Structure 1
C-alpha cells in the first residue's frame, strides 16, 4: 500500500535555495526494513541526527559539487538531499542489491528526482564480488560473509570512489558510507579523492566492522587533518582519537563524522535546526492510501517561501511569494487567509488535512 512521508520544512533553506517538495513517495509501507520503519515513525524515527548532519553539510556545499550515498538501500538519503538541493548539487547513490536498487530507481522516478543510481558495490578494488543476502533483513546485505547469516549470494560489480570520481570528474563535498562492516575498504579506495577534494564523510561503524582496515584508513585521514566525531543528539560533538573510538562503537549512536575542518558554531546550529524540523515529521504526518489508489491532489506541492498578504478592495487578499525576481501573485480568498493566519509563528504553509494520522 502506498506511503508518502512528510519532508522537513526549513524556512531558512527555502529563503536561500528556493522551494522543494513537501513529501516523498516511498511507494510501500512494508516492502523493506527502511519502509517499515518510516511507516512506524516517519523521518523522525529514522536516524534523525544522521539526516540532520547530512542536510546541514549539503546546505554548505558549493554549487556544482557532488554527494555520494554509498550503500544507499532504497535511496532515502539520496532522495532527501536531491529533493532539497538537487538544483545545485549532483547526487550519486550506490546500491548493489538488485531488488533494493530497483526500488531505489522506482522512488527516483515516481518523485521526479534526478540523482544517479549506480548498481554497484563500493570497496578498495574494482571488479566483481559476491554479495551475501542476509536472512535478517535486506538492509544487512554485505560483501562480508561473516556479517549476517545468509543462504543466497549474488555476484555484483564493484567500483572504488577514486575510480568513480576520476571517471566523472566529480567534486565530492559529502560522502555517506553505510556498507555493513567494510567501511575501511571503502575509505581505502577513496584516499586519493579525500586528498584532492577533502569531502566531509559520514559513516556507520558497527562492532563487527573490519577494524584493522578501518584503523589504517583512519590513520591516513588523521594525517590529512581529519577529525573524528560521534554523531549524538547533544552538541557540540567532542573529537575522538584513533586510539579510543572503539570504546564508543556499539552504543546507541553508531554514525560518525570525519571532518576535514573544525566543527563551528554555525555548523552545530545548522544541524540543530534541521534536527528540529525532522523531528516534526513523525508518523502522524505520513500519508497512506489503499492499494491502487492515488494520493490526494496537492500531496506533493512544494513548500513556499515566506508569503505576505496585501488586502484588496473586494475583501480578498493578494499573496506574493518572495521566491523569484518576478513575484508570482494570485488572489487569496479571505477564508484561506484566516486559515493561514491561525497557524503558529514558524509553521509551514502546509495543508494538514493531507497528512491525517492513519
Structure 2
C-alpha cells in the first residue's frame, strides 16, 4: 500500500533509514577492519568469537556507536511508524477492507493456541507482531519501505535488495511445474508475491500465526489480482492434508523459531509434501560460514535486537534436521556475499 504520510513523518523515517545505512555501511565496516587487524587468527567457536570481539573492540568508538545506533533505529522505527499509521488510518482501513468474495481465501482462528515463541517481541515490535491492529502496514509500508530496504537489516546489508534475495531463493526450486506451493510463516505476503510471479500457474498457500499480517496479505493478494489461500495456524500444525503440496518454500523463518519448534516444523513440512516434491529454504548462513566478526554481529541480535533465537539458529544443523525428517538429496550453499541468502533444499522420494 502507498500510505499517505506527512512530510514530517516521512522525513523522520527516512532519517532512520539513512542512519541504519551509515551504521552498517560505514561504522561497521570500520569496526570489521579494526578487528581483522587486531585479531588475525580469530577463534572458531561462536562463544570464543564473542569474547574476542568484546576484548578487541571494547573501546573502539565506531563499533560502540554502531551497536548503539543499530539498537536505537530498531526501537525508533515503531515510535515513528505507529503514529504515522494512525494519521492514515481511514485510508489504511479502506485498503484493508476487501470484498469477502474476492478470489482466494483467508481463514482466521481467533481461538488458536499459539506456541509460546510467538509471544516474543520479534524485531522489537511494540507489543509483538499483533501489538497494533495496523501492524501489517507499519512493518511493510513504513518500517520496511523507509528504513529496512534502504538501510539493510540482519544479514541483508545496506544497498542490497531484500526483494532480490527472495527472488534468488525461490529460483533455487529444482522444477518449474509445481502445482501447489506452501509457505510456512508467510507474514504479510512479500515472499508470496515473488512466488506468484515466479510460478504464476501454481496455487499459493500461506500459513501464518499473526492475524494482522494475514489481513495485510489478504488485502495485498486482492489488490494485486492473486488468489492466495491464507490460513492462520502454527507452521508445526498447519492442518493441511498429507501430501497436499508439491513445493514448500520458506524464507527467513527458522531464525525466528527455537530448535525444538524448528524440528517439529520440518517434520510437518515433510508430512504435507507429496512424494516427488521439494523443499527450498532461504535464511541466514550458520555462524561457521560467516567470518568471526560478522557472526558476532548476527549473534548480537539475540539479546539486543529482538531476535531471541538467533544464537541457537546460527549453531543449528538444518540440513541434518531435513535428513532426519526423511528428506533426501539435501544440499546447503550460499548465493551471495556472506553466503546470504543461505539455501537449504531437499526432496521427498516417491514411494516405490
Write 1 or 2 for the structure with the bigger share of strand: 1
- TM tier, smaller: 0.3 to 0.5
Largest Rg, 1 or 2: 1
Please report the TM-score for the alignment, with normalisation by the length of structure 2. Answer: 0.42
Please report the TM-score for the alignment, with normalisation by the length of structure 1. Answer: 0.42
Write 1 or 2 for the structure with the bigger share of helix: 2
**Taking CA–CA contacts closer than 8 Å with sequence separation of 6 or more, which of the two structures ends up with the larger relative contact order?**
1
